[in-house]
């Protein structure tokens, strides 16, 4: 029997501490005008307590399970995408599994940063198509705020990121009409490690010498993220355009056939440039970066959730989603919602 998968439930959780551009201006040499012109971001949310990414993921997961009309016990696999895990090891999927009380099921972590949700979606779709699982919980969750350099040294990166979580339930489905029935059509995954150090955190790491991390590395700020912004921007636009076109060709579609575009939320200017290059009308692109900043693996499920709540995303729509991130990694997914 041929199996297919579809998204059956979405959930999100945004922590309670609102951080505006004016708040950042009080911490470092920046301004609301500078941030908005270069990124489109007006605000973001940071955790204000000891919450971790698996804590945020738990709340998003519980809502997604409920929205899918399932019981927690119906979940037979967890895939957790994050670059901000609770601990060095084990992975967040196991910590979330314990919090959900789902003992014994498969638990997998994905370290693809901003592309993590789409990689996870592809993996979930593959497992379901093989007939191995019926309901897979996919979570993207981040707590960036605890790992940012909130001084002038880190301002170009720090202004970009927010905390948050999004979750999706991917379930087995039978497709009778490929043009109307909800299902994942295809996924397209890529990476190029030649550019790994253009957006990365150097320490802690086993490649740095005899110690996982030392005092000098901390004093040098190697435990904070560093980014070559111009190179990331140029590659993001190029690769997201390419991977959207790859999906269009695979599914014999034209841009105008797609009802809704769900792009990763790294920079409003990137998404505007991609839409311009592909001649996508603005009303088909839904952005949330102005509200939440870049929540990395969580941006796409959060965006889908908000779009559904606002009536912009509706059942039956054909969706194209694309992301680009550290690694460099990039991916797209095409699905009927």
Is 93 part of a structural domain of the chain? Answer: yes
Q: Are residues 140 and 266 in the same domain?
A: no
Q: Are residues 75 and 112 in the same domain?
A: yes
Sign of the torsion angle spanned by Cα atoms 242, 250, 185, 110: negative
Point out the domain boundary residue: 173, 192, 219. Answer: 173
Nearest CA among 191, 186, 51, 184 for reference residue 111: 191
Is 190 part of a structural domain of the chain? Answer: yes
Q: Are residues 26 and 50 in the same domain?
A: yes
Q: Is the pTM of this model over 0.85?
A: yes
Q: Are residues 239 and 298 in the same domain?
A: yes
Is 267 part of a structural domain of the chain? Answer: yes
Is 178 part of a structural domain of the chain? Answer: no
Point out the domain boundary residue: 149, 173, 197. Answer: 173
337 residues of the chain, pLDDT tens digit each: 789 999 999 999 999 999 999 999 999 999 999 999 999 999 999 999 899 999 999 999 999 999 999 999 999 999 999 999 999 999 999 999 999 999 999 999 999 999 999 999 999 999 999 999 999 999 999 999 999 999 999 999 999 999 999 999 999 999 999 999 999 999 999 999 999 999 999 999 999 999 999 999 999 999 999 999 999 999 999 999 999 999 999 999 999 999 999 999 999 999 999 999 999 999 999 999 999 999 999 999 999 999 999 999 999 999 999 999 999 999 999 999 9
Residue 92 to residue 216: CA distance in whole angstroms: 29
Point out the domain boundary residue: 173, 201, 229. Answer: 173
Is 191 part of a structural domain of the chain? Answer: yes
CB 325 within 8 A of CB 82: no
Q: Are residues 157 and 197 in the same domain?
A: no
Q: Are residues 139 and 187 in the same domain?
A: no
State the catalytic residues: 114, 264, 294
Is 32 part of a structural domain of the chain? Answer: yes
Instruction: Calculate helix-pair angle for 268-277, 229-250, nearest 10 degrees.
Output: 40
Tell how far CA 221 is from the center of its chain.
25
Is 279 part of a structural domain of the chain? Answer: yes
Q: Are residues 230 and 142 in the same domain?
A: no
Q: Are residues 278 and 129 in the same domain?
A: no
Q: Are residues 102 and 250 in the same domain?
A: no
Is 275 part of a structural domain of the chain? Answer: yes
**If you ran DSSP here, which 8-state letter would residue 332 be given?**
E
The CATH number of residue 35's host domain is: 3.40.47.10
| DSSP three-state, residue 194 | helix
Residue-range definition of the domain harbouring residue 41: 4-173
Q: Are residues 167 and 246 in the same domain?
A: no
Q: Are residues 102 and 208 in the same domain?
A: no
Domain count within the chain = 2
Contacts of 90 (CB under 8 A, 6+ apart): none
Q: DSSP 3-state helix, strand, coil percentages of the chain (rounded to 5)? A: 40, 25, 35
Q: What is the DSSP string of 126-157?
A: HHHHTTS-SEEEEEEEE--GGG---SGGGHHH
Q: Are residues 16 and 108 in the same domain?
A: yes
């Amino acid at each position: 029997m041929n199996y297919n998968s579809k998204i059956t439930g979405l959930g999100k959780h945004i922590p309670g501490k609102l951080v505006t551009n004016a708040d950042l201006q009080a911490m470092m040499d920046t301004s609301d005008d500078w941030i908005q012109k270069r990124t489109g971001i007006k605000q973001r949310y940071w955790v204000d307590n000891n919450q971790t990414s698996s804590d945020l993921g738990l709340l998003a997961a519980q809502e997604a399970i409920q929205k899918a009309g399932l019981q927690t016990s119906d979940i037979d696999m967890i895939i957790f995408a994050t670059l901000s895990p609770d601990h060095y090891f084990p992975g967040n999927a196991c910590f979330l599994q314990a919090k959900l009380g789902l003992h014994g099921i498969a638990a997998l972590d994905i370290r693809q940063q901003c592309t993590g949700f789409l990689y996870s979606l592809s993996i979930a779709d593959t497992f379901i198509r093989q007939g191995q699982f019926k309901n897979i919980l996919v979570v993207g969750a981040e707590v960036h705020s605890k790992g940012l350099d909130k001084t002038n040294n880190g301002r170009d990166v720090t202004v970009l990121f927010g905390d948050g979580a999004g979750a999706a339930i991917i379930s087995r489905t039978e497709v009778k009409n490929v043009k109307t029935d909800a299902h994942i059509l295809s996924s397209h995954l890529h990476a190029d490690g030649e550019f790994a150090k253009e957006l990365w955190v150097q320490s802690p790491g086993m490649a740095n010498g005899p110690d996982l991390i030392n005092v000098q590395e901390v004093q040098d700020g190697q435990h904070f993220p560093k980014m070559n912004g111009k190179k990331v921007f140029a590659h993001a636009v190029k690769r997201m355009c390419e991977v959207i076109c790859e999906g269009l060709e695979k599914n014999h579609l034209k841009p105008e056939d797609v009802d809704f575009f769900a792009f990763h939320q790294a920079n409003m200017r990137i998404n505007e440039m991609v839409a311009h290059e592909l001649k996508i009308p603005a009303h088909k692109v839904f952005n949330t970066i102005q509200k939440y900043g870049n929540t990395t693996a969580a941006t796409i499920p959060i965006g889908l959730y908000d779009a559904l709540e606002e009536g912009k995303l509706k059942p039956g729509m054909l969706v194209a989603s694309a992301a680009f991130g550290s690694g460099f990694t990039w991916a797209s997914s095409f699905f009927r919602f």
